[in-house]
Amino acid sequence: MMMWQIIKNEWHFLARNRVLLGISFGFVGILFLTVYLGNLQTQEQAQRYQTAQTHLRQQWENIEEMNPHSAAHYGTYVFKPTCLLSGLDEGVNSITGNVLRVEGHVQNEIVHSEASQMQAISKFGKLKSALLLQYIIPLLLIFLAFQSIYGEKQGGRLKLLLLQGTHLTQILVAKTLSVCLYGIGLLGLTISVYVLLNLNSINTDILGRTALLFLSYSFYYFILSGLTVFFSARWENTNLALTSMLGIWIVWTIFLPNVLMSSVERWHPLPSREAFKTAMKEDRSKGLDGHNPADKRSKALEEKVLKEYGADSLAQLPINFDGIVMQEDEEYGNKVWDEHFGNLRKALAEQKQTYQLGGLINPFISLQNTSMGFAGNDNLHHQEFLVQVENYRRVFIKTLNDKHAYGGSRTGDWSWKAGNDFFRSVADFEYSPPVLSSVFSHYVFDIILLLFWGLLTAILLIFGTKKMSIL
């Protein structure tokens, strides 16, 4: 009850201070505009992808006649559906892109020029909701809280409050909550507007993600508000409290994520694009680890197929051996890719785990992880997309190679063409984004760290101010 009175009084201050009120309204306006534009961009992107996907499918289905192998090189493109929450946090999408080419022999790479920084993405330079939620609102909270206790102490008002029977801890916690609630209010407004704009597309998965996103930000706002109130109580002047918190903000949001990401890359390095391609090419021609080179594999396959069909030469085969060779080569290429991609995934997983540990010294890292993760736009979700595209590519190419091999042509006949019915029968790519229940476990550690920081803040507020001077 007492705490509620203090919170109410703090909100009175906010409501009756014209400057703060003006800043708040201005900020809410910017926030709404950002949410609206972010949502518009997300919807337009989804629409563009849908149009392009439909167009590409139409092109594919309109192929009258074509050699299946030519069709494999003709290929197609697939688009990663935009997650509904992209408008709130677009995560790694800005650097990984959402379009992949599906073609015979050619797998999509994961090592992009910038994608090696997929754990930590700076939001600066783009007016997105995540920029406001992760960087600007925390700054507002710091500015609101840095004078909260010192201001009371300076005028002797803290004595009056304590004389009314209020406990110092109640004052500190109430001040923290009042500031934190301001941030949560802005967050709530942002999410509410976003939900209202997308009311028809909301499902339980999105609701769950939104709720967890909301919780993560709320924890972070509590941590920042609590620490600022703590410094306001402990330091003997407001400048020191403000400087301390601005320092923490800079270290947490700008300095540490970059330093940590550079260190993580050094500890768990990813191969360069060139090295990755060269190793793939080498393993494909010389065989994995130097065993079973391409020419030996080819000879063994020829003997096996001839034996299977009881033929003496390729010309006697009732099928097109070229299709079998291409599929065999494709499957060997897949093996090579699995090996190399597996190594990459392992390195990326190690990078992610080590980076997550950074949350021990910097809760902002945990917030960024959960924000991108629950928005469905982090490294994990992108890798899932890559895997699904690769799986589709394999089925797609196998269908074309099988048609080439068993569709009625003979070995060496590259002019043979499959008809339109066949091309229509080839299934289109359908992406199933990971559901929250399947990815939640990857973010539990981040949530635990945010809780740990919240607890640490509460301990500091309660026990770290015991010796605080009231006078």
**Complex with other proteins: residue 5 or 425, whichever CB lies closer:** 5
| Sole binder of other proteins in the list 165, 290, 310, 441 (CB under 8 A) | 165
Stretch that binds other proteins, among 150-158, 207-215, 256-264, 416-424 (CB under 8 A): 150-158
Q: Minimum CB separation from other proteins for residue 125, in Å?
A: 38
**Complex with other proteins: residue 113 or 469, whichever CB lies closer:** 469
The rounded Cα 92 to chain-centroid distance in angstroms is 5
Q: 193: number of CA atoms within 13 Å, CB side?
A: 21
Q: Minimum CB separation from other proteins for residue 464, in Å?
A: 19
How far apart, in whole angstroms, are the C-alpha atoms of residue 26 and residue 24? 5
Within the chain, what is the greatest distance between any pair of CA atoms?
105
E strands, 357-447, are 418-419
Locate tokens 């033929």: which residue? 311
Q: Minimum CB separation from other proteins for residue 153, in Å?
A: 10
Q: How many CB atoms lie within 10 A of CB 28?
A: 15
How far apart, in whole angstroms, are the C-alpha atoms of residue 447 and residue 452? 8
Q: Is 240 in the site for other proteins (CB under 8 A)?
A: no
| Sole binder of other proteins in the list 55, 159, 281, 296 (CB under 8 A) | 159
Stretch that binds other proteins, among 33-41, 135-143, 162-170, 368-376 (CB under 8 A): 162-170
Q: Is 318 in the site for other proteins (CB under 8 A)?
A: no
Stretch that binds other proteins, among 159-167, 205-213, 299-307, 437-445 (CB under 8 A): 159-167
What x-and-dash track marks residues 106-145 binding other proteins by CB under 8 A? ----------------------------------------
Stretch that binds other proteins, among 134-142, 157-165, 261-269, 368-376 (CB under 8 A): 157-165
Residues with Cβ within 8 Å of residue 356, at least 6 apart in sequence: 365, 366, 369, 445, 446, 449
Residues with Cβ within 8 Å of residue 364, at least 6 apart in sequence: 134, 220, 252, 253, 256, 257
∠ at Cα 248 (457, 7), nearest 5°?
A: 45
Residues near other proteins (CB under 8 A), total: 23
Subset of residues 76 to 95 that bind other proteins, contact rule: CB under 8 A? none
Taking each helix axis from N to C end, the angle separating 321-357 and 256-267, rounded to the nearest 10 degrees, works out to 130
Subset of residues 5 to 34 that bind other proteins, contact rule: CB under 8 A? 5-6, 9, 12-13, 16-17
Q: What is the DSSP string of 192-249?
A: HHHHHHTGGG--HHHHHHHHHHHHHHHHHHHHHHHHHHHHHHHSSSHHHHHHHHHHHH
The rounded Cα 111 to chain-centroid distance in angstroms is 16
**Complex with other proteins: residue 2 or 197, whichever CB lies closer:** 2
**Complex with other proteins: residue 14 or 215, whichever CB lies closer:** 14
Q: Is 431 in the site for other proteins (CB under 8 A)?
A: no
Q: Minimum CB separation from other proteins for residue 465, in Å?
A: 14
CA torsion sign for 270, 272, 274, 279 is negative
Q: Is 166 in the site for other proteins (CB under 8 A)?
A: yes
Whether the CB-CB separation of 81 and 48 falls below 8 Å is answered with no
Instruction: Please give the helix or strand (H or E) that residue 99 lies within, else none.
Output: strand 99-102
**Complex with other proteins: residue 163 or 427, whichever CB lies closer:** 163
What x-and-dash track marks residues 244-283 binding other proteins by CB under 8 A? ----------------------------------------
**Complex with other proteins: residue 142 or 161, whichever CB lies closer:** 161
Q: Minimum CB separation from other proteins for residue 16, in Å?
A: 4
**Complex with other proteins: residue 5 or 54, whichever CB lies closer:** 5
Q: Is 301 in the site for other proteins (CB under 8 A)?
A: no
**Which 8-state DSSP code applies to residue 432?**
-
**Which 8-state DSSP code applies to residue 79?**
E
Among the listed residues 184, 178, 183, 182, the one whose alpha carbon sits nearest the alpha carbon of residue 149: 178
| Sole binder of other proteins in the list 105, 126, 157, 286 (CB under 8 A) | 157
Q: Which positions touch other proteins (CB under 8 A)? A: 1-2, 5-6, 9, 12-13, 16-17, 155-157, 159-167, 470-471
